[in-house]
Structure 1
């Protein structure tokens, strides 16, 4: 089996050693024989300039010492580890620049549950990274299994442009890499909001809504979904075509099937779509497992392994 990842980048936060993201990053780095970079990025908080001016250097010194102590232990076990603690007015920009410098091929971070009121005024770092990160971004809420046992790829076969943009391919490739590395089951999911799909086609084809037409759309989408699954060699028992709103369908599926990692796509969004957020963003604070977000750029990255190697 080829190594899926060469450089794993853990975006750490205080108490990171007890975090699910750290357990996942460490397990993946060990399994793939990848080097691990641990970075902590602090930003000034409004209303605390005095505290920031007087305690920043002390805080950074303590964090760097803590990081280096843990890194030394990990190096002693044979893992290649680097670390840093940085103060930044724009952590998202700093993290993105570090990803490029390190040539990281997987970024792992704990989900940070920002209060709803704060999210109205300030875009959370997790959302900003989801929208801008050009490599797979693994946001971990819980990790009862350090290496995931079940990985699922959430595809959208209802929108024709996604079948040609390469985003579905990027999602499948990222899911396959994760499942193959971890020896996990690979599942495929399409959560289809049929009325929305029919309305989309109706606007395109000037057709009206009726039951027979809706059934034709369902059959067409199901056939497309199976065609993609056939192409990637996913067995029938791991193909899941679910009718209903996408967000709720994915949440229910993850819970019912005990999915450790759900792989979804992210696209650049403008206008009202950006304000309302994507399915991935809406899921972020509501799933018990983890999300692996893949941008459209991921489709341009080389496939690391051609065949699916999953548990039977």
Structure 2
């Protein structure tokens, strides 16, 4: 155990991560006001953007060990997905649940509104989002989700596909289901679809549970 008192915490963390192959950074979630978050980038968000190893943000721990673990997957824009990343998120959730003897749930928040916005920006609203195509997209996403959960051995009753904004769906689902920890990706897409300030940053200070954030490049825990 090493205790270090420094002015620039982020720099010191990054130095330690470069010097030794740490498997994870565990940190308490600091709740700052919206005004403070608007004016300054918090240490939590800076870690999200700059830290390559898994980040476990601990908050509101109701139980000494997690009883319910949720893996939040994303199947949108498959052409931009990091290959196998959703499988890895589920695997991390399963390993954590096995160690804690916890229950595992899988959630895919299916954002049809975002797809419609993308289509409108391309000027193809009437072509892309006729009722037939919307139904076809939903069926394709449902099938992809079923294949993902089946190959990872998840029982159907533990799989949830909910239409809506991912950030809102996640927070409502976790509150309603009493989730202790959410396993999710810092980014799910690359290329033009990759952006900082994604779902993780939007939900980090709203979640009623702890959050384990995985990056595609990070080593397996």
Instruction: Please give the TM-score of this superposition, normalised by the length of structure 1.
Output: 0.63
Tell me if 1:231 matches 2:163. no
2:6: which partner in 1?
Answer: 87
CA separation in 2, counterparts of 1:137 and 1:247?
Answer: 18
Tell me if 1:109 matches 2:27. yes
Q: Cα–Cα, structure 1 residues 164 and 281, in superposed 2: closer, same or farther, change >3 Å?
A: closer
Structure 2 counterpart SS, 1:83: coil
* Conserved 8 A contact 1:162-1:168: no
| Greater radius of gyration (CA) | 1
CA positional deviation for 1:169: 3.0
Number of residue pairs matched?
215
CA separation in 1, counterparts of 2:200 and 2:145?
Answer: 20
* Conserved 8 A contact 1:265-1:280: yes
Structure number with higher relative contact order (C-alpha < 8 Å, ≥ 6 residues apart): 2
2:129 to 209, 214, 226: 209
Gaps of 5+ in 2: none
CA separation in 2, counterparts of 1:166 and 1:190?
Answer: 15
* Conserved 8 A contact 1:176-1:186: yes
CA positional deviation for 1:180: 1.7
Structure 1 counterpart SS, 2:5: strand
CA separation in 2, counterparts of 1:238 and 1:122?
Answer: 39
Instruction: Please give the TM-score of this superposition, normalised by the length of structure 2.
Output: 0.87
CA separation in 2, counterparts of 1:158 and 1:219?
Answer: 13
Q: Cα–Cα, structure 1 residues 255 and 112, in superposed 2: closer, same or farther, change >3 Å?
A: same
